[in-house]
Amino acid sequence: MMQGALERWPLNAFAAYNHIRVTGYGPDWAVMELKVEKDSLNPLGWVHGGALFTMGDCAAGFATHSDGRRYVTMSSDFHFLRSGKAGDTLQAKGTVRRRGMTTCLSEVSITNQDGELLATGTYTFYCIEEAEPLKP
């Protein structure tokens, strides 16, 4: 069912605009990468919190969509632990923790190229469409 999530990814113009790309995925997990550029920084010269949150939402969402259904983000609990800087390569790994009939809980961890944990969070998604039947 990963095909649906992968086919829809190019439609995510917001992720592309923010330099976020898929680097790995499978059933119930996904990994995103962000090479930090100048436009990812806040006025202090650190990675903007919105970039971290967006990365987390993308990774958790892609993992959630791996069942072929469509979801929207309902809520999130996100923790900023430290920041990154220009030139860093950040990685967000999203993993499904509980999938129900209409909601899905996924968690995410964001690290820098040295493996330091920058942020972590959970995202709850609401299913808005059932999976399409598999084609022979």
Check which CATH number belongs to the domain holding 67 and give it: 3.10.129.10
Task: Please indicate, yes or no, if residue 41 is contained in any of the structural domains.
Answer: yes
Task: Please indicate, yes or no, if residue 50 is contained in any of the structural domains.
Answer: yes
Task: Please indicate, yes or no, if residue 90 is contained in any of the structural domains.
Answer: yes
Task: Please indicate, yes or no, if residue 106 is contained in any of the structural domains.
Answer: yes
Task: Please indicate, yes or no, if residue 81 is contained in any of the structural domains.
Answer: yes
Task: Please indicate, yes or no, if residue 59 is contained in any of the structural domains.
Answer: yes
Residue 26: pLDDT above 70? yes
Residue 32 tokens, joined = 């995103």
Rounded percentage of the chain residues whose pLDDT exceeds 90: 79
Mean pLDDT of 49-61: 96
Q: What is the pLDDT of residue 1?
A: 46
Residue 3: pLDDT above 70? no
Task: Please indicate, yes or no, if residue 135 is contained in any of the structural domains.
Answer: no
Q: How far apart are CA 106 and CA 27, in angstroms?
A: 12
- Number of structural domains, the chain? 1
pTM of the predicted structure, to 2 decimals: 0.88
Mean pLDDT of 25-31: 96
More confident residue, 1 or 37: 37
Q: What is the pLDDT of residue 134?
A: 44
Q: What is the extent of the structural domain holding 25?
A: 2-129
Q: How far apart are CA 101 and CA 118, in angstroms?
A: 32
Q: What is the pLDDT of residue 132?
A: 56
Of 2-11, 43-52, 100-109, the range with the lowest mean pLDDT is 2-11
